[in-house]
Amino acid sequence: MFSAFLIKYGEIGVKGKNRFKFEDALVFQIKRVLEPLDRAFDVVRIDGRILVTTDSPLNEIEYDETLVKLKKVFGIVEICPAETVPGMTLDDIKSTVLRHIDENFPDKKITFKVNARRGNKSYPIHSMEINASVGEAILEAFPEMRVDVHNPDIYFKIDIRDSIYVYSKGIKGTGGLPLGTNGRALLLLSGGIDSPVAGYMISKRGVELDCVYFNAPPYTSDRALQKVKDLARILSDYSGKINLHIINFTDIQLYIYDKCPHDELTIIMRRFMMKIAERIARANGCLGLVTGESIGQVASQTLKSLFTTDEACTMPVYRPLIAFDKQEIVDKSEEIGTYETSILPYEDCCTIFVAKHPVTKPNLNIIKLHEQNLNEKIDELIETALDKDEVLSIGV
């Protein structure tokens, strides 16, 4: 019965003088995700690890819930569910280890090694002695088990601190860097498969997210908007609280439709999305834009198109999926849990007016020339859209 988790982190360990900042951020994020649970947990930093403890063993449901939460914390490399030894004597350790084996390894035909570590050097018995003594007890209790000090199936680890913890398995965490260690970026969230994955990947590097959605009623519906809110909610499990900006884009889109060649609609529309996104980002302290673009996926994502889109804003645009194949993106979206929502069949503003043959090799100069057709009203339309920006706070 587990009542603790030893949390291992990777890259943070080598961040030099900033290390404490990263560790503090990780502790903070772990506390944040565990806070909504009914259980109270203690989260403390202990030389190179984080120890999450609670005062009595978790039942199976609580254990699963906690693990699900911890698996969504960026910065964690490995989660080791541990048992707390009820006492400090060698006998206490032995009985906990034996029970642990009995409960977790129904098949006893395994090789093992005991690996004790004294974080608390004042503990009277040396590690080697503990290893030998516990190993002996195991062999006596379970004669089928064998010792293998070089390549064991299972390590039984005994971590001695103010309390003693026993653990034998590690569960992979997401990796990355803890949120709050790298500022904030604005994700262009469409409701498709790609953009939530792009947001996840940037956020995984410790970046907090805001999102902007371009709404086009009556061409898009409340259900399409709800879908985007749901996606932001799923993302917020990983990336913390998200401010979702909802921009009414209809008038701008129709104005472009009126004034510009139809095969350039999408690319011009995207340029204005970038411009608007940049304005929102600057006004909200975001240091970059994030999109789900991937080279060649659609007409507006050829290198020429990306070149043309990119020119519309001066802020860095991060495109973490740029070299991903569609299937890789789909796999990732299934893994992070956004796929089922992304494939709901509601139109978004990018699909309502798509030319049969949109330009795939836009010429920036020509596009800019055609954009001059918009001079009369476009600034005013952009200001109106920004004035009416509706901001929703999503996630805890």
Partner 1 sequence: MINHPIYLDNAATTRVFDEAAAAVQDAMINQYGNPSSMHRLGFEAERTLKESREIFAKLLKCDPSQIFFTSGGTESNNTAVFGSALKYGGRHKHFILSSIEHPSVSEPIRQYVERGWKIDTLHVNRDGFIDLGELEQFMKDREPLLVSIMHVNNEIGTIEPISEAANLIHSMCPTTLFHVDDVQGFGKLNLFPGRAGVDLLSVSSHKIHGPKGVGLFYRSERAKNILPLIYGGGQQEGFRSGTENVPGIAGFAKAALIYQEKLRNAPSKLEELRNLFIEKVTQIEGTKINGPIDTSLAAPHIVSLTVDGVRSEVLLHALEEKSIYVSAGSACSSHKMSHSDTLLAIGLRGDDLDSTLRFSFSIENTKDEIETTVKALREIIPSLRKYRRL
- Report, in Å, the least distance between residue 366 CB and partner 1: 19
Site for partner 1 (CB under 8 A): how many residues?
Answer: 19
Closer to partner 1 by CB, 266 or 291: give it.
266
Stretch that binds partner 1, among 108-116, 139-147, 352-360, 374-382 (CB under 8 A): 352-360
Residue from 38, 356, 375, 387 binding partner 1 (CB under 8 A): 356
Binding partner 1 (rule: CB under 8 A), the pick from 45, 153, 257, 386 is 257
Q: Minimum CB separation from partner 1 for residue 364, in Å?
A: 23
In the region spanning residues 212 to 231, those forming contacts with partner 1, defined by CB under 8 A, are 217-221
Single residue of 1, 141, 254, 315 touching partner 1 by CB under 8 A: 254
- Residue 204 contacts by C-beta under 8 Å, 6 or more apart in sequence? 74, 174, 175, 176, 177, 238
Q: Which of 351, 368, 373, 386 touches partner 1 by CB under 8 A? A: 351
Residue 223 Cβ, how far from partner 1 at the closest point, in Å? Answer: 10
Backbone φ, ψ for residue 30 (5° rounding)? -65, -45
At 172, is the secondary structure helix, strand, or coil? Answer: strand
**Whole-angstrom distance, CA of residue 46 vs CA of residue 5:** 12
DSSP 391: E
Q: Which of residues 285-344 bind partner 1 (CB under 8 A)?
A: 343
Q: For residues 101 and 256, which CB has a smaller minimum distance to partner 1 in the complex?
A: 256
C-beta separation of 242 from 388 below 8 A:
no
The answer to whether residues 91 and 137 touch, using CB atoms and an 8 Å cutoff, is: no
Helix or strand holding residue 297 (H, E) = none
Q: Give me the DSSP letters along 303-315.
A: HHHHHHHHTT-SS
Cα dist from 53 to 3, 104, 251, whole Å = 6, 20, 54
**C-beta closer to partner 1: residue 111 or 351:** 351
Contact with partner 1 (CB under 8 A): which of 353, 364, 370, 373? 353
Residue ranges of E strands in 234-338? 242-248, 289-290, 317-318
Distance of alpha carbon 154 from alpha carbon 148, whole angstroms: 9
360 contacts partner 1 (rule: CB under 8 A): no
User: Which residue number, 265 or 313, has a Cβ lying nearer to partner 1?
Assistant: 265
* Residues 20-49 close enough to bind partner 1 by CB under 8 A: none
Q: Which is nearer to partner 1, 55 or 222 (CB)?
A: 222
Nearer to partner 1, 24 or 347 (CB): 347
Residue 11 phi, psi (nearest 5): -50, -30
Task: Kindly list the residues in this chain that would bind partner 1 in the complex (CB under 8 A).
Answer: 217-221, 254, 257, 262, 265, 343, 345-347, 351-356
